[in-house]
């Protein structure tokens, strides 16, 4: 299949290689640029664990000498890929919640004791779930720090614009609501909306799909779980059918 991938780097290149290994052709058009927070000061407290909800947070902390003490703590991640990234970055035995922020809240509430110390939560400036507030309801003291910023790209990659205008795209992969919102605005700016009925949008969740509904004439496909294997499973199912479905699910 001919795909446009909207993930930011460094995840985009890695995902593109995985897709190409499966026989797909990929155009990179990151909807966001990720930049580590330059004014970040990490707190020094007797934390009992670290919470990570994205690989971007892992990458932002990975090169920091003052994060060494955090890397030695038990680490809880929202999904399997973030756990893999955390392990590569030296975080101690990361445990994956298996998919969503709700799963992470349940895992932390079950595995940890609020009396054992505060939790450190590293994320971007915009979060879809108030993890600190939700865990606070269980009695946890959660210290949240913005460790990276996600800046929206105002235009699509030229190769993506050309392919969309030529009808040479079968699908667009979107991993976050913020990316989907940025993609929708950029697609309008580049005058490739509405997206053709032959173009499917493959989304990690319903929340990711929401900004695409006004611009998509083709199907919007939602992964069974908010993880990459489930997203790839959608591609495989459509490829076996001989192309994208004619109507949204």
pLDDT digits (tens, 9 = 90+) for 163-193: 999 999 999 999 999 999 999 999 999 999 9
State the average pLDDT for the chain.
93
Asked if the domains 2-31+154-240 and 35-150 are classified in one and the same CATH topology, the answer is yes
- Under the banding of pLDDT at 50, 70 and 90, the label for residue 243 is low
Instruction: Collapse the DSSP code of 32 into the 3-class scheme (helix H, G, I; strand E, B; otherwise coil) and give the result.
Output: strand
CA angle 234, 239, 241 (to 5 degrees): 100
How many CB atoms are closer than 10 A to CB 109?
16
Classify each residue of 188-209 as buried b or exposed e, where b means 16 or more C-beta atoms within 10 Å of its C-beta: eebebbebeeebbbbbbbeebb
- CATH of 35-150 given 3.90.180.10, 3.40.50.10090, 3.40.309.10, 3.30.420.250: 3.40.50.10090
173/203 Cα distance (integer angstroms): 6
- Does residue 244 have a pLDDT over 60? no
Task: Please state the φ and ψ torsions of residue 164, each to the nearest 5 degrees.
Answer: -65, -40
Report domain extents, the chain.
2-31+154-240, 35-150
- CATH of 2-31+154-240 given 3.40.462.40, 3.40.50.720, 3.40.190.10, 3.40.50.10090: 3.40.50.10090
- Does residue 143 have a pLDDT over 90? yes
User: With pLDDT > 90 as the criterion, what percentage of the chain qualifies?
Assistant: 84
pLDDT digits (tens, 9 = 90+) for 107-136: 999 999 999 999 999 999 888 789 999 999
- Under the banding of pLDDT at 50, 70 and 90, the label for residue 100 is confident
60/117 Cα distance (integer angstroms): 24
- Does residue 76 have a pLDDT over 80? yes
Distances (CA, A) of 212 to 11, 133, 172, 216: 22, 29, 11, 6
pTM for the whole thing?
0.84
Residue 50 tokens read as 């670290």
pLDDT digits (tens, 9 = 90+) for 8-35: 998 899 999 999 999 999 999 999 999 9
- Does residue 162 have a pLDDT over 80? yes
- Span 144-155, mean pLDDT? 95
User: With pLDDT > 70 as the criterion, what percentage of the chain qualifies?
Assistant: 97
């Amino acid at each position: 299949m001919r795909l446009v991938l909207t993930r930011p780097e460094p995840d985009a290149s890695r995902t593109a290689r995985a897709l190409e290994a499966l026989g797909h052709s990929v155009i990179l058009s990151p909807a966001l640029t990720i930049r580590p927070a330059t004014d970040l000061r990490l707190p020094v407290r007797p934390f009992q664990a670290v919470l990570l909800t994205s690989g971007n947070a892992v990458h932002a902390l990975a090169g920091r000498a003052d994060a060494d003490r955090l890397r030695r703590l038990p680490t809880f991640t929202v999904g399997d890929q973030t756990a893999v990234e955390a392990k590569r970055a030296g975080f101690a035995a990361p445990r994956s919640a298996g998919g969503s922020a709700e799963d992470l809240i349940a895992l932390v509430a079950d595995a940890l004791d609020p009396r054992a110390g505060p939790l450190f939560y590293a994320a971007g400036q915009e979060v879809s779930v108030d993890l600190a507030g939700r865990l606070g309801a269980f009695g946890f003291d959660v210290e949240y720090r913005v460790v990276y910023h996600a800046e929206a790209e105002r235009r699509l990659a030229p190769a993506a614009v050309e392919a969309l205008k030529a009808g040479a795209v079968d699908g667009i992969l979107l991993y976050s609501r913020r990316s989907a919102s940025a993609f929708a605005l950029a697609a309008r700016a580049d005058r490739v909306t509405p997206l053709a009925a032959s173009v499917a949008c493959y989304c990690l969740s319903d929340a990711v799909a929401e900004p695409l509904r006004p611009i998509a004439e083709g199907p919007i496909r939602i992964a069974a779980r908010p993880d990459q294997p489930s997203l790839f499973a959608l591609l495989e199912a459509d490829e076996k059918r001989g192309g994208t479905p004619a109507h949204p699910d």
